[in-house]
């Protein structure tokens, strides 16, 4: 069982790294097995199919993201909370760029086997932003759209930074994002 868990871990890590650059459909089970250092048979011992492997991967990754956002909000309210969430999300993206890339490319796909799962996870993460925005005076019953906007701004700026301008430092990027948003 401990053995199984470390194998599972290796498989999930390999799958994430490959999918971040090649996409999920573009990643083959052979490649995952090779990078994980296990035989292909072991993939299918630990996961029932390729779809189920990537569903587990997204569940773990996006679930952890939502949890971290919730803890970042803590007792903060309104724009203060949005400010803290933006910064936390940027740090999460920086610490897990492969997951961020994968989210960016999967978030609007509606044909996947794991669609329901991803939709729920996406909702959990955005709900934290929406909740904070609802505590401001700008929400006006459209905090869902606004939450997506803030999330999208951070995601795209964060990946722009990591992929195309990695020489910049984190504080500068955080400040740039906050400068475009009506925070405070």
- Contact positions vs DNA (CB under 7 A): 1, 3-4, 6-7, 27-30, 37-42, 44-46, 48-51
Among residues 105, 113, 116, 120, which is the contact residue for its own copies, using CB under 8 A? 105
Query: Within 13 Å, how many C-alpha atoms sit on residue 110's CB side?
Result: 0
Quote the CA–CA distance of 21 and 125 in Å, as a whole number. 23
What does the DSSP 8-state code read for residue 77? -
Residue 115 contact among DNA, its own copies, none, beta carbon within 5 to 8 Å by kind: none
User: Given the complex with DNA, which of 33 and 174 has the nearer CB atom?
Assistant: 33
Angle at 149 between CA 147 and CA 153, to 5 degrees: 120
Quote the CA–CA distance of 99 and 90 in Å, as a whole number. 13
Assess contact for 57 and 15: CB atoms under 8 A. yes
User: Given the complex with DNA, which of 48 and 71 has the nearer CB atom?
Assistant: 48
Question: Which two structure tokens, joined as six digits, stand for 48?
Answer: 């029932």
The CB-of-26 to DNA minimum distance in angstroms stands at 8
SS (H, E, C) 83-99: HHHHHHHHHHHHHCHHH
Quote the CA–CA distance of 177 and 91 in Å, as a whole number. 13
Residue 71 contact among its own copies, DNA, none, beta carbon within 5 to 8 Å by kind: none
Among residues 106, 114, 121, 134, which is the contact residue for its own copies, using CB under 8 A? 106
Quote the CA–CA distance of 61 and 63 in Å, as a whole number. 5
Phi, psi torsion values for 174, nearest 5 degrees: -60, -45
Among residues 109, 116, 120, 170, which is the contact residue for its own copies, using CB under 8 A? 109
**65 interacts with its own copies by CB under 8 A:** no
Among residues 4, 9, 26, 113, which is the contact residue for its own copies, using CB under 8 A? 26
User: Given the complex with DNA, which of 39 and 156 has the nearer CB atom?
Assistant: 39
**Applying CB under 8 A, which residues contact its own copies?**
21-23, 25-26, 101, 104-111, 133, 138, 140, 142, 144-146, 148-157, 159-161, 163-165, 168, 172-173, 175-177, 179-182
């Amino acid at each position: 069982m401990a053995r199984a868990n470390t194998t599972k871990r290796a498989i999930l890590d390999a799958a994430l790294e490959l999918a971040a650059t090649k996409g999920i459909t573009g990643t083959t089970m052979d490649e995952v097995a090779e990078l994980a250092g296990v035989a292909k048979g072991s993939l299918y011992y630990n996961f029932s199919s390729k779809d189920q492997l990537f569903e587990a991967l997204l569940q773990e990754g996006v679930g952890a993201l939502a949890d971290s956002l919730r803890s970042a909000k803590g007792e903060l309210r309104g724009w203060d909370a949005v400010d803290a969430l933006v910064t936390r999300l940027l740090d999460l993206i920086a610490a897990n760029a492969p997951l961020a890339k994968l989210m960016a490319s999967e978030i609007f796909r509606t044909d996947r086997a794991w669609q329901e799962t991803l939709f729920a996870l996406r909702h959990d993460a955005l709900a934290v932003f929406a909740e904070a925005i609802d505590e401001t005076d700008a929400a006006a019953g459209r905090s869902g759209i606004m939450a997506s906007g803030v999330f999208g701004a951070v995601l795209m700026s964060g990946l722009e930074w990591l992929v195309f301008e990695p020489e910049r430092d984190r504080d500068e990027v955080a400040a740039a994002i906050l400068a475009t948003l009506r925070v405070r």
